[in-house]
Structures are given as structure tokens and as C-alpha cells.
Amino acid sequence: MVALVSFTKQLLVATTNDHSKLAVAKAVCRPLVNVYDLSGACTKSSIKMPAVFKAPMRNDVVNFVHDSLLKNSRQPYAVSAKAGHQTSAESWGTGRAVARIPRVRGGGTHRSGQGAFGNMCRGGHMYAPTKVWRRWHRRVNIQQRRFAMCSAIAATGVPALVMARGHRVDRVPELPLVVSGEVEKLKKTKEAVKVLKKLRAWSDIQKVYQSKRYRAGKGKMRNRRHVMKRGPIVVYKKDDGVTRAFRNIPGVTLLNVKYLNILKLAPGGHMGRFTIWTEGAFRSLDKLYGT
């Protein structure tokens, strides 16, 4: 595993021409992938590497598509249309050697005569008040979305990129990591934990446990008190209980292979998330993404 990591690091050195970039993208792909059982032992069966793992890895495209799609879940917000105008004020006009900003009426208080309404005034409105009809969402070309998805999938098979994302995969037997279809039939969390330990992927879950901390900012008051890092993502073909088994393990995300999501495969726009594939899901990639 260490030798493979160093090899891929050498291959991913920045290049200047397109031909060498294409060679780098294809060189990290090997012809066959082993399948591991629930005990962590290598089975006799092997799978041909799906063609999607030969896709060029463009971090700029992944980052752009992720940033655009993430905006589609924003909730519109705006300040009140009356904000900063809830006072009686009128300009004194010219000829008094003072600014023509509207001033609070009345007397007998420090507030009278003070400027109002303007964004430079105490209690005034903000500059360019936010409106709910702002363009919140973004449309992304379908070819760009497909390209970004293929790049994100290909990056899950490169140990150097997975480790650069912060995942602890030093002891994982190989990447991409494919587990037999029996894992889809698990229904108990203790069984899922046992499988992760046998596959030597539990250290990545421990990293998630250790990263739990208080959120900075207002989110603490809005039911988002704690934050933690992301762990592995489990991609399955058929849910025979696998979602019930893994859903309560911190940091673990579950996805059906038919509904892969760039927001889950490349959190934060950084590709290379540690991915555990079931055998059925891994065999489906050629059918879904072409050969």
C-alpha cells in the first residue's frame, strides 16, 4: 500500500501538456480489482476495473460543479423592507451648513436632529438591502456534471488523493476497496462495525470521533451545535438492510450506485473521498457510466 501511494504521488506531479495529463489519468488504473469478504480476507474472485476510473481527474471542474450545485439548496433571505425607515425624519434642506441627510424630528432628546434612513446613519437601512428575488440557484451544464462525477469516481481509486483529503487508509488492503455482496444484507450496527474493523477501515471512523467539536458562529443556536469530519462512503446496489446497519456510525454516508452525488463523493469540492464499494455496485459502474 505504501509503495502504491508513493507511485501514485509521482504520477500526479503537475504536467504541462495534455498528452502527459491523459497518461497520468490512465496510469493510476490497474486492470483487476480484488473482492474482500466480511472477514477482510481476499476472495478468489476479481473484477475488471470499470472504465470510469480511467477518466481524467479535473479538480477545477469538480470544484466548480460542487460550488454551483451546493447553491441550489440555499433558502432565500432578505431584510425587512421597512428596516431603517421606522422613524419620522425629513431633510432640513439647504442653507444650514449641514448635510442634507434626513433628520429625526422633535426635541427634548439626543435623537432629535440626528441623521436617519441612510446607510451611514445610526439606525438606518443597509446598503443595497437584500431581496428574496435574488438569483439563488445555478444551472450547470449536464456534460459538466457528468464530467465532474466521473472525475470524482476516478479519484476514489487513487490512494494519494484519498490520503490528501485526510482519510486514514494506510492499512486498507487496496483502493478502490470492493466488498462482497453479503455486506448489503447486514442489519445490525455491531455487524457493520465488525466489518469495518476487519477491513482495517475503522481508523478513519476513529478520526471522525476525535474531530467532533463545537461549531463556530450562530449555527450553535440553530440545531447545528456540533461539527465533525467526514468518514467513508458506502456505495451499494440493493438495500437489504445495509442502510440500517451503517446509518448510525458517525461520518459514514450511504448512497445507491444509481444515485451517486457529487456533493457526497467530493465534500467541499475536494475529490478523493474514501469509498467502500459493494461488489454489485462496482460491477454496475460500466453499465451506468459506459466503457
Tell me: the pLDDT tens digits for 23-43? Answer: 444 446 678 899 999 998 988
Which residues belong to CATH 3.40.1370.10 in the chain? 2-74+139-289
With a cut of 60, say whether residue 178 has pLDDT above it: yes
Q: Which fold has domain 2-74+139-289?
A: Ribosomal Protein L4; Chain: A; (3.40.1370)
Question: In Å, how far are 70, 105, 211 from 87, measured between CA atoms?
Answer: 40, 9, 49
With a cut of 50, say whether residue 180 has pLDDT above it: yes
Distance from C-alpha of 219 to C-alpha of 217, rounded to nearest angstrom = 6
Q: pLDDT exceeding 90 applies to what percent of the chain?
A: 84
Strand spans (E) along the chain: 32-36, 42-48, 89-90, 103-104, 177-179, 213-214, 226-227, 233-236, 253-256, 275-278
Name the 3-class secondary structure at 160: helix
- Strand ranges of the sheet holding 275-278, from the earlier edge strand across to the other edge: 42-48, 32-36, 177-179, 275-278, 233-236, 253-256
For 8-24, the pLDDT digits (tens) are 444 444 433 454 444 44
Distance from C-alpha of 3 to C-alpha of 167, rounded to nearest angstrom = 17
With a cut of 60, say whether residue 4 has pLDDT above it: no
Say what the pTM is.
0.82
Whether residue 184 contacts residue 280, with contact meaning beta carbons closer than 8 Å, is answered with yes
Distance from C-alpha of 146 to C-alpha of 233, rounded to nearest angstrom = 19
Whether residue 250 contacts residue 209, with contact meaning beta carbons closer than 8 Å, is answered with yes
Distance from C-alpha of 86 to C-alpha of 66, rounded to nearest angstrom = 41
- At residue 45 the predicted structure's pLDDT band, cuts being 50, 70 and 90, is confident
For 187-239, the pLDDT digits (tens) are 999 999 999 999 999 999 999 999 999 999 999 999 999 999 999 999 999 99
